[in-house]
């Protein structure tokens, strides 16, 4: 019996499943889709786990899946994807090396992240670089390999797999939706010469952008926007419910209807903004030094059905844009749909079908399921247990010899203990004479630490916040910051303590006063940022997004200038901002709590 490969795509508006059997071509054996209530998913992440679970249960019943083992897809702007270059090594060696370097590659604390990698190819170090958001290259002529690294917040993956498992599914793996799209849709672009193909999936809450060369991913990005923005524009402009706005959005190609015409007018600007973000992402790939020619773009997803969207995108990117045809590389079995209905499935097939094909390693495969780390932890515990058992066995075998030596050692220990106790008593007597002076020194040190920590800024948290808000077509070149010391509160006056044995002259000891203590919550400072954007609207978008950060205020761009870079103009800009009390770290509170 052919192996069952089942892919499950949990989207913004629906959950979709596809069962595929391997072959040339693979065969679609089952397909189903169930709608999700509004707000159950947002930005590719589970918000209402119960609603998602109920929809998945209904989907399992309608398709007739019994205890299915599924490959689940994840697509979120918060999933970090990097291409890095590493010296050629074994997979186990690479795993250790990446775990060691992960803190420098991903803006997520390692104890809060799940990560995995796939080796894409290898080449001489001087030949090419990489083509993704992050470029970490080898140097010289040493052979290197290109590695795709992905990381996600553990809570994001746990909520997704928890909702799926609660519906009666067994989670086999958690893969990236952009990689699944490449598996389902990749095909040769040109018979002569190198060429790359772009894939754009317009979803409800996110838009996936991927570029591949012969099925090998060269660029992956997930945009935090999609068809929901168009629905919200229609709902706000026409003052109608979101459900009614969604229905109007699906009829935008109708003519002769005033409501549809008003809806078309309402979505014109958000569609332009969405396509501009897609164009910026593709331009980012094309501006890489090692990028091959982008020959065409394929569109898929529910948003790809919007009338005229392919033509508008083609005008922006300057290459042909065509709708995806997943059935050209897929045989359709008896899935319970009429021929006319099967045609309408094309925008929804690539993601679940590509996820299923990950089960036969069709192209690079990642697995962000958190159980992998648990298994590794368990293995380490077993090893540690084995070492302890071996030590215990060795101790038992050596017991007769050790018993005699132990008697001698016991007597020596008793003598050493008596000597130690005597020394401790003498030391305690000596320390009592200047106990108050030491207490004053301790208070002084505590006050100094309090002053220093009052102006301590959590730079790592600020950089992570900036990384989440920075537009896709803006990159930073430098960041300089200065912290203004907080205001100080005067400390108490020095105290004088009197100590002397009975009947002897009195001796006065002055305890040093603690330095002024900084007032908590009044931290300030300036931040200067140098950056580059693809155009002036991108600089404006940077200004709007960074203004959301609570750690910064007064964000501004005092200067911006356009200049030529490779094949296009870019804009270099300087941005300034002021630090707010929200930028302060929590180390002062932790220190004061420890003092209590």
The answer to whether residue 427 is domain-embedded is no
Task: Spell out the per-residue pLDDT of the chain, length 596, in tens.
Answer: 557 899 999 999 999 999 999 988 899 999 999 999 988 999 899 999 999 999 999 999 999 988 789 999 999 998 999 888 888 888 888 888 887 777 788 888 888 889 899 998 877 655 443 334 434 444 445 788 889 999 999 999 999 999 999 999 999 999 999 999 999 998 766 555 678 999 999 999 999 999 999 899 999 999 999 988 999 999 999 999 988 888 888 888 777 788 888 988 999 999 999 999 999 999 999 998 888 999 999 999 999 988 889 999 999 999 999 999 999 989 999 888 888 888 889 999 999 999 999 998 778 889 998 764 444 444 444 333 433 333 334 444 444 445 555 556 566 666 666 676 777 677 666 666 566 667 777 777 877 777 777 778 888 888 888 888 888 888 888 888 888 766 554 445 454 444 444 444 444 444 455 455 445 556 678 899 998 988 888 888 888 888 888 888 889 888 989 888 777 788 898 999 988 888 888 877 777 776 65
Crossing angle of the two packed helices 350-357 and 177-185, in degrees rounded to 10? 90
Do 29 and 111 fall into the same domain?
Answer: yes
Strands 524-533 and 196-202: unpaired
Do 362 and 451 fall into the same domain?
Answer: no
Residue 275: both structure tokens together? 């396509």
Do 59 and 179 fall into the same domain?
Answer: yes
Do 236 and 358 fall into the same domain?
Answer: yes
Domain closes at, from 340, 366, 392: 366
DSSP type of residue 457? B
The answer to whether residue 136 is domain-embedded is yes
The answer to whether residue 408 is domain-embedded is no
CATH number at residue 573: 3.30.1360.100
CATH number at residue 355: 3.30.420.40
Do 288 and 151 fall into the same domain?
Answer: yes
Residues 6+ apart with CB under 8 A from 119: 91, 94, 145, 146, 147, 148, 364
Q: What integer pLDDT is reported at residue 189 of this predicted model?
A: 61
Do 228 and 120 fall into the same domain?
Answer: yes
Q: What integer pLDDT is reported at residue 374 of this predicted model?
A: 43
Q: Report the domain count for the chain.
A: 2
Residue 73: count other Cβ atoms within 10 Å of its Cβ: 28
- Among residues 550, 584, 551, 552, the alpha carbon closest in space to that of 450 is found at 584
DSSP type of residue 581? G
Residues facing 563 on adjacent strands: 570
Do 69 and 200 fall into the same domain?
Answer: yes
Do 78 and 199 fall into the same domain?
Answer: yes
Q: What integer pLDDT is reported at residue 408 of this predicted model?
A: 62
**Domain span holding position 83:** 5-366
C-alpha to C-alpha distances, 223 to 281, 412, 467, nearest whole angstrom: 9, 72, 14
Domain closes at, from 366, 401, 425: 366
Q: What integer pLDDT is reported at residue 432 of this predicted model?
A: 63
Do 109 and 230 fall into the same domain?
Answer: yes
* Pairwise CA distance, residues 466 & 516, whole Å: 34
Domain closes at, from 366, 394, 415: 366
The answer to whether residue 414 is domain-embedded is no
The answer to whether residue 533 is domain-embedded is yes
- Among residues 238, 240, 236, 260, the alpha carbon closest in space to that of 249 is found at 260
The answer to whether residue 505 is domain-embedded is no
Do 25 and 118 fall into the same domain?
Answer: yes
- Among residues 60, 52, 124, 58, the alpha carbon closest in space to that of 87 is found at 124
- Rg for the chain, CA atoms, rounded: 32
Do 455 and 351 fall into the same domain?
Answer: no
The answer to whether residue 391 is domain-embedded is no
The answer to whether residue 562 is domain-embedded is yes
Do 353 and 455 fall into the same domain?
Answer: no
């Amino acid at each position: 019996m052919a192996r069952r490969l089942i892919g499950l795509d949990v989207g913004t508006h629906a959950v979709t499943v596809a069962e595929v059997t391997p072959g040339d071509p693979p065969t679609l054996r089952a397909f189903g889709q169930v709608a999700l209530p509004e707000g159950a998913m947002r930005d590719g992440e589970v918000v209402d786990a119960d609603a998602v679970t109920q929809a998945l249960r209904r989907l399992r019943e309608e398709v007739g899946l019994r205890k299915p083992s599924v490959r689940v897809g994840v697509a979120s702007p918060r999933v970090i994807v990097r291409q890095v270059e590493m010296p050629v090594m074994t997979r186990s060696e690479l795993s250790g090396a990446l775990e060691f370097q992960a803190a420098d590659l991903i803006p997520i604390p390692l104890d809060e992240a799940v990560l995995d990698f796939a080796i894409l190819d290898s080449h001489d170090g001087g030949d090419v670089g990489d083509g993704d958001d992050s470029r970490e290259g080898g140097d010289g002529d040493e052979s290197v390999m290109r590695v795709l690294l992905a990381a996600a917040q553990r809570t994001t993956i746990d909520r997704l797999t928890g909702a799926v498992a609660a519906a009666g599914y067994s989670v086999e793996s958690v893969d990236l939706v952009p990689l699944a799209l490449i598996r389902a849709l990749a095909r040769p672009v040109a018979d002569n010469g190198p060429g790359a193909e772009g894939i754009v999936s317009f979803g409800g809450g996110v838009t996936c952008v991927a570029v591949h060369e012969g099925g090998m991913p060269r660029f992956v990005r997930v945009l935090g926007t999609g068809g929901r923005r168009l629905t919200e524009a229609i709902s706000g402009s026409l003052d109608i419910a979101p459900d009614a706005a969604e229905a109007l959005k699906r009829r935008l190609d109708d003519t002769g209807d005033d409501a549809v015409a008003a809806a078309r007018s309402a979505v014109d600007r958000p569609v332009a903004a969405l396509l501009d973000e897609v164009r910026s992402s593709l331009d980012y790939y094309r501006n890489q030094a090692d990028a091959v020619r982008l020959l065409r773009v394929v569109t898929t997803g529910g948003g790809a059905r919007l009338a005229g969207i392919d033509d508008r995108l083609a005008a922006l990117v300057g290459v042909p844009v065509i709708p995806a045809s997943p059935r050209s590389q897929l045989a359709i079995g008896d899935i319970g749909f009429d021929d006319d209905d099967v045609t309408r499935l094309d925008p929804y097939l690539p993601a679940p079908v590509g996820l299923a094909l990950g089960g036969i390693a069709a192209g690079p495969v990642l697995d962000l399921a958190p159980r992998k780390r648990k298994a590794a932890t368990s293995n380490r515990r077993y090893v540690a247990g084995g070492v302890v058992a071996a030590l215990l066995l060795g101790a038992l075998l050596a017991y007769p010899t050790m018993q005699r030596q132990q008697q001698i050692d016991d007597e020596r220990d008793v003598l050493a203990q008596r000597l130690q106790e005597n020394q401790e008593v003498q030391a305690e007597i000596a320390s009592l004479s200047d106990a108050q002076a030491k207490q004053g020194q301790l208070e002084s040190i505590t006050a100094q630490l309090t002053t220093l920590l009052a102006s301590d800024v959590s730079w790592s948290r600020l950089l992570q916040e900036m990384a989440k808000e920075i537009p896709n077509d803006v990159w930073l070149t430098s960041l300089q910051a200065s912290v203004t010391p907080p205001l100080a509160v005067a400390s108490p006056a020095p105290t004088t303590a009197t100590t002397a044995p009975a009947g002897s002259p009195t001796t006065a000891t002055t305890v040093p006063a603690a330095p002024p203590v900084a007032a908590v919550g009044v931290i300030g400072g300036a931040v200067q940022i140098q950056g580059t954007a693809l155009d002036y609207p991108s600089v404006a978008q940077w200004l709007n997004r960074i203004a959301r950060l609570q750690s910064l205020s007064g964000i501004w761009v005092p200067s911006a200038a356009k200049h030529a870079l490779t094949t296009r103009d870019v804009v270099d800009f300087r941005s300034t901002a002021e630090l707010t009390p929200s930028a302060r770290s929590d180390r002062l509170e932790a220190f004061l709590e420890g003092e209590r």
